[in-house]
Amino acid sequence: MGRGGVNERFSTRLGGASIPPTGTRAATGRTLQRQAPAVSRPCAHADTSLPQVRRLPARVLAVLGTLAAFGPLSTDLYLPGLPGVAADLNASSMATQGTLTTSVIGLGLGQLFVGPLSDRFGRRTPLIAGLVTFVVFSIGCAVAPNVGVLLAMRFGQALGGAAGLVIARAMVRDLADGDRLIRAMAMLMLVSSLAPILAPLLGGQLISVTSWRGVFVALAVIGALLLAGTVAFTSETLPPERRSQSGVRRAFDSYAVLARDRHFVTTVATFVSTFGTLFAYIAASPFLLQVKYGLSAQMFSVVFSVNALLVMAGTRTRLRTPLGTMRLAIALQTLGIIAVGASVYAHLGALLVGFALICFGWGVMGPTAAALALADHRDRAGAAAALQGASQFAVAGLVGPLVGATGPDSVTAFVVVVAVLTIGAWVSVSFLRREKRRST
C-alpha cells in the first residue's frame, strides 16, 4: 500500500475538510483516475457513483441500529428464561448454557458467511433472507421439544441474525464517508446501545407473564417487525455496477485482501482489544457486584443501565483527529483498569468508577475505529464489516471464561486479562501513529 493511501486515511479531520486524492485503488488493483475537484470535500474517499447522504433518515437509522443490536437482543432477552429451559426440557445447566454458546458461534460464523455475499449480491437480498431465517428459527426455538433441537434452532436463529449485524454496518459504509461515516457509525452505535439496557428489563417482564417459549415468540415478532421495516424503509445501497463481479467462491477472497492490509488489521486489533475490555466487564460484573459486594439484582440492573448510558454518551465524544479519539478511549480504559485494581483497597466506589471509565472509553472508541477500519474498503465493505464483527465475537469467547479463572468474585483475573488487552490496544494504536508519521 502506497504512502499516498496511508496519508489519505489520516488526512480526515473531524468536522473539517481534506484534499481528495487524484485516484483510488480498486479491489482488482487497478487505479481509477478522477479529476481533482475545484473545492475540497469532507472525505478523501468520496465516490459519486454511490448514494451519499448528509444525514441518515431517523427511520432508516432506527432499523439499522436495531439490526446492529441483534447480538445482545437475542441473548439478553433470553437470559431470564434459562432456569425455565432447564426445568421444562429436563436439561442440565451445562446444556442449557450451551444454547448461549451456540448462539455466539452462529453470530460469529454467520457474519463471515453473509459479509462477502452482500458484496456480491447487494445488501437488501441477503438481509431480507437473514431476517426470514431469524423469524423461522425463532419459532422453531419456541416449539423445541428437547434441548438438542433447541441448540440446533438457536444456531440457525443466530445465522439469520448475523445478517443484520454485518449488513447494517456495510449499508452505513455505502451511504457515508469520512466524518459523516464516523457520525453515522456513532448514531448506529447509539441506537444499538439501547439493547443492553432494554433487553434484560423486557426479558424479565416477559418471563413474569409468559414462559421462555414466549420470549422466543417475542423475538420472532421483533424479527418480523424488522423485516417489515427493512422492506418499507430501506433501499439497496450497493448498486450492481459496484458489486463484486466474481463468482461466489471468489467473493470470499476478500478476506485474503483484508488480511494483507496492515492498516485494516491494526485498526481492527485496536477495536477488538477495547471491546474485549468491555466484554470482560460484562462477564465479570454480575459476580463482582452481586457476589463480592452484595448488590441486589435490582441495584445491579441500575448500575448496568447507567454504564450502558455511558457507552451511549461516549459515542458522542470525539477529538479533532480519529487517532486522537482512539488514544483518548484507550487512556480512559487504562484509568478504569487502575481504578478496578484499586478496589481491592478502596472497595465498591473504586470498582464502580473503574467500570464506568471502561464503558465510556468503549463508547469513545467504537464509532471511530469501526469507521476507520471500513474507510478504505467500500468495494468489500460487507467482508470488512464481517471480519470486524467476527473478531469481536472471537475475543468475547476467549475473554469470558478467563475473567473468572481465579474465582467468580476475584478481581485478579479480570485485571490481568484487561491489562493484557489494553497493552495490545496501546501497541496497535502506536503502529497506527507510526504509520501516520511515515506518511507525512
* 68 or 406: which leads in pLDDT: 68
**CA dihedral for 126, 128, 132, 135, sign (positive or negative):** positive
CATH topology of domain 56-252: Growth Hormone; Chain: A; (1.20.1250)
Q: What is the pLDDT of residue 409?
A: 63
Taking residue 250's Cβ as centre, other Cβ atoms within 10 Å add up to: 12
- The larger pLDDT score, comparing residue 297 to residue 119, is at 119
According to DSSP, residue 287 is labeled: I
Can you give the pTM of this predicted structure?
0.72
19 vs 30: CA distance, rounded Å? 21
Please report the pLDDT score of residue 156 as a whole number: 94
Q: Which of 168, 182, 413 is nearest to 319 (CA)?
A: 182
User: Cell 467462491 appears where?
Assistant: 249
Q: What is the pLDDT of residue 31?
A: 31
CA torsion, ordered 272, 390, 165, 358, to nearest 10 deg: -20
Q: pLDDT of 295-329, one tens digit each?
A: 887 788 788 888 888 988 898 888 888 899 999 99
- Mean pLDDT score across all residues of the chain: 79
Q: What is the pLDDT of residue 213?
A: 93
CATH 1.20.1250.20 domain position(s) in the chain: 56-252, 257-440
Grid cell of 154 as nine digits: 438457536
Distance CA 200, CA 2 (A): 48
Give the number of C-alpha atoms closer than 13 A to the C-alpha of residue 121, restricted to the C-beta side: 17
| Amino acid, res. 134 | F
Mean pLDDT of 188-193: 74
Q: How far from chain centre, in Å, is Cα 394?
A: 12
Q: Greatest CA span in the chain, whole angstroms?
A: 71
Kindly report the CATH number that applies to the domain delimited by 257-440. Answer: 1.20.1250.20
